[in-house]
């Protein structure tokens, strides 16, 4: 694996609508991000991925783009964006935008023109089809529920395809003219000084054609897209073009959101010759999720979590650098999902942080994660805004859940969990806005907020600072960045332990996911001496073992003492 500048960085995801509102309209904005760059610098992160800020009717929170060349006025102007890039650069921060090109908005001019003249050039920018024998062209189910087909406005007999919401028509990547438009747009943005992109839902750009039915997996007679995509071949042609015509010439950093990766395809997607610099590891976010719907999901245990992490580390070994997360804007808060209730306190949150952060790969922190923000408590389904959640709620009721059971399920999985406003301080609306926030602030903001944690050496925030610093530590960074991940005592329940094996040093990461003390003997280290690099509690290490208190983690470095 070739070494890259970004390997030694730490990345941070900003969900702009909920980060910081500078003008009191209740919506986070670009000026708000600029005002908080110093905060991000204090945390110590280097790469910022900002979720979409392009012109959008916001049917799916900006993942429905009406114009790729414009900033949405709710976030600011193009001048603000240029200034953000400048201000970031001054501070040595790299900015990634979100590249959403599987689909656009039904309010994009391409789609409008396609509606006006389906047989014209823009009709071919989308997937348009007619019914066959009175039935829709195929039985695929959209990710947000219902068939992927919707009548084309203004047309008598035609339908357009959308694998997400009906306001997100899929772009037809088979059309070279569309691909050239997308490339021009990408290059235009990269020329503006972006470091690169996070690439949205990209596996969906290749459809198995011609449209055919696959076996139905629910009573609705439809088939899950995950299954559909298994039959799609040849995405490499499209992605290779993007790499060769856009990303590589700009030396851009790219991280793909790739679900349903075909088996054995990892090396095609990332690494030295991959389409992307890196891809997100979703192995653990996927664990326990059911194709039947959220009602059938199972929350992973700490042992599940560990197994998933190790599985991914093994797969990526020698291939490339994964991007590691515990949460993002689509997922429950990591601490609410992976920590059992008894462990959902500051100590447990730091434990989880250390466990994923020190795996091999590029760690991403999702906004608020560094404070230990949790899923909010919802009293009613009407408090939930997310487009995908309504269908899941309906689905819960349909399979026989009571309303309160349905609310409980949706509360855990709704994408709103990560989208509540950032908790800056204990003042009204958590200091996020002087107006009314677009989505209610979580009720725990008086106890969980940035102001109370910055400068407090025991806080979750400080712990993240220490993890970030450790990654840059001159003595240990070679091993942290490139040491092989070797699971340790893998079969021991509620213990997550692994080595990062360097050439002449080793780091041992230990995490106790239980309410009992655990004694862990060290592996044989020869002449190397142990030193404690980080812990979330008082820690003493013996010559041959560590004793972990409940929910304690320890990071122990082994090396020969310099003469």
At closest approach, how far in Å is the CB of 388 from ligand TEU? Answer: 6
**Which of Ca ion, ligand TEU, none interacts with 21 (beta carbon under 5 to 8 A by kind)?**
Ca ion
60 lies in the binding site for ligand TEU (CB under 6 A): yes
311 annotated active-site: no
State both tokens at 261: 């990766």
CB atoms within 10 A of CB 380: 8
25 lies in the binding site for Ca ion (CB under 5 A): yes
Contact 484, 490 (CB under 8 A): no
Residue among 10, 19, 20, 27 that touches Ca ion (CB under 5 A): 27
Compute the Cα dihedral for 288, 289, 295, 296 and give only its sign. negative
29 lies in the binding site for Ca ion (CB under 5 A): yes
* Strands laid side by side in the 278-279 sheet: 278-279, 253-256, 196-199, 94-99, 47-50, 11-14, 362-366, 323-324
d(C-alpha 249, C-alpha 244), whole Å: 7
Compute the Cα dihedral for 350, 364, 367, 95 and give only its sign. positive
- With tokens 């110093």, the residue in question is 38
**Which of Ca ion, ligand TEU, none interacts with 327 (beta carbon under 5 to 8 A by kind)?**
none
257 annotated active-site: yes
15 lies in the binding site for ligand TEU (CB under 6 A): no
392 lies in the binding site for ligand TEU (CB under 6 A): no
100 lies in the binding site for ligand TEU (CB under 6 A): yes
Alpha-carbon distances, residue 43 vs 32, 37, 39, 220 (angstroms): 17, 10, 6, 48
At closest approach, how far in Å is the CB of 130 from ligand TEU? Answer: 26
At closest approach, how far in Å is the CB of 358 from ligand TEU? Answer: 25
**Which of Ca ion, ligand TEU, none interacts with 27 (beta carbon under 5 to 8 A by kind)?**
Ca ion
Q: Nearest-CB residue to Ca ion? A: 29
Residue among 85, 96, 201, 495 that touches ligand TEU (CB under 6 A): 201
CB atoms within 10 A of CB 400: 9
Residue placing its CB nearer to ligand TEU in the complex, 297 or 462 = 297
Residue among 9, 21, 58, 349 that touches Ca ion (CB under 5 A): 21
**Selected catalytic residue, list 21, 200, 386, 392:** 200
How many residues bind ligand TEU, per CB under 6 A?
A: 13
**Which of ligand TEU, Ca ion, none interacts with 259 (beta carbon under 5 to 8 A by kind)?**
ligand TEU
Report the candidate in 496, 499, 553, 549 with the shortest Cα–Cα distance to residue 528. Answer: 499
State both tokens at 405: 């059971």
As separate numbers, helices (DSSP H) first and strands (DSSP E) second, the chain gives: 17, 20
* Residues near ligand TEU (CB under 6 A): 60, 63, 100, 143, 164, 200-201, 257, 259, 329-330, 388, 415
Catalytic residues: 200, 257
* Residues near Ca ion (CB under 5 A): 21, 23, 25, 27, 29
């Amino acid at each position: 694996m070739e070494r890259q500048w970004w390997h030694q960085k730490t990345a941070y995801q900003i969900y702009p609508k909920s980060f910081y509102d500078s003008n009191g309209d209740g919506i986070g904005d670009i000026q708000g991000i600029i005002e908080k760059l110093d905060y991000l610098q204090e945390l110590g992160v280097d790469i910022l991925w900002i979720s979409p800020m392009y012109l959008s009717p916001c049917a799916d929170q900006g993942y429905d783009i009406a114009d790729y060349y414009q900033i949405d006025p709710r976030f600011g102007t193009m001048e603000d964006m240029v200034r953000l890039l400048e201000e970031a650069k001054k501070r040595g921060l790299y900015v990634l935008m979100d590249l959403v090109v599987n689909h656009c908005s039904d309010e994009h001019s391409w789609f409008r023109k396609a509606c006006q003249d389906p047989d014209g050039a823009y009709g071919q920018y989308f997937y348009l089809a007619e019914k066959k024998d009175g039935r829709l062209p195929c039985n695929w189910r959209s990710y947000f529920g219902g068939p992927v087909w919707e009548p084309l406005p203004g047309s008598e007999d035609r339908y357009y395809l959308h694998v997400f919401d009906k306001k997100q028509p899929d772009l037809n990547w088979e059309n070279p003219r569309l691909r050239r438009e997308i490339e021009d747009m990408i290059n235009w943005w990269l020329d503006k000084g972006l470091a690169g992109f996070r690439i949205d839902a990209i596996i969906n750009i290749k459809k198995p054609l011609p449209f055919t039915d696959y076996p139905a997996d629910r009573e609705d007679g439809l088939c899950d897209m995950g299954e559909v995509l298994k039959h799609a071949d040849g995405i490499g042609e499209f992605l290779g073009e993007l790499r060769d015509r856009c990303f590589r010439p700009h030396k851009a950093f790219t991280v793909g959101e790739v679900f349903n990766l075909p088996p054995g395809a990892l090396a095609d997607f990332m690494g030295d010759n991959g389409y992307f610099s890196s891809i997100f590891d979703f192995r653990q976010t996927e664990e326990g999720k059911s194709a039947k719907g959220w009602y059938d999901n199972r929350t992973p245990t700490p042992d599940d979590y560990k197994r998933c992490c190790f599985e991914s580390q093994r797969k990526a070994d020698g291939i490339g650098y994964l991007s590691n997360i515990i949460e993002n804007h689509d997922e429950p808060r990591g601490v609410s999902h992976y920590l059992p209730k008894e462990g959902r306190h500051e100590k447990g949150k730091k434990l989880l942080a250390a466990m994923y952060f020190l795996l091999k790969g590029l760690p991403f922190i999702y906004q608020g994660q560094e404070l230990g923000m949790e899923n909010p408590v919802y009293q009613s389904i009407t408090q939930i805004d997310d487009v995908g959640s309504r269908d899941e709620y309906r689905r819960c009721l349909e399979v026989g859940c009571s309303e309160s059971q349905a609310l409980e399920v949706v509360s855990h999985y709704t994408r709103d969990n990560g989208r509540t406003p950032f908790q800056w301080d204990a003042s009204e609306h958590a200091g996020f806005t002087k107006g009314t926030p677009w989505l209610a602030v979580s009720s725990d903001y008086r106890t969980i907020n940035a102001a109370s944690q910055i400068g407090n050496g025991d806080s979750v925030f400080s712990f993240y600072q220490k993890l970030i610093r450790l990654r840059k530590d001159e003595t240990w960074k070679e091993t942290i960045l490139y040491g092989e991940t070797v699971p340790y005592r893998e079969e021991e329940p509620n213990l997550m332990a692994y080595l990062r094996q360097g050439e002449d040093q080793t780091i041992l990461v230990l995490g106790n996911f239980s309410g009992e003390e655990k004694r862990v003997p060290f592996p044989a280290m020869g002449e190397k001496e142990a030193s404690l690099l980080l812990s979330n509690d008082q820690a003493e290490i013996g010559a041959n073992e560590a004793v972990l208190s409940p929910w304690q983690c320890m990071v122990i470095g082994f090396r020969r003492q310099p003469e």
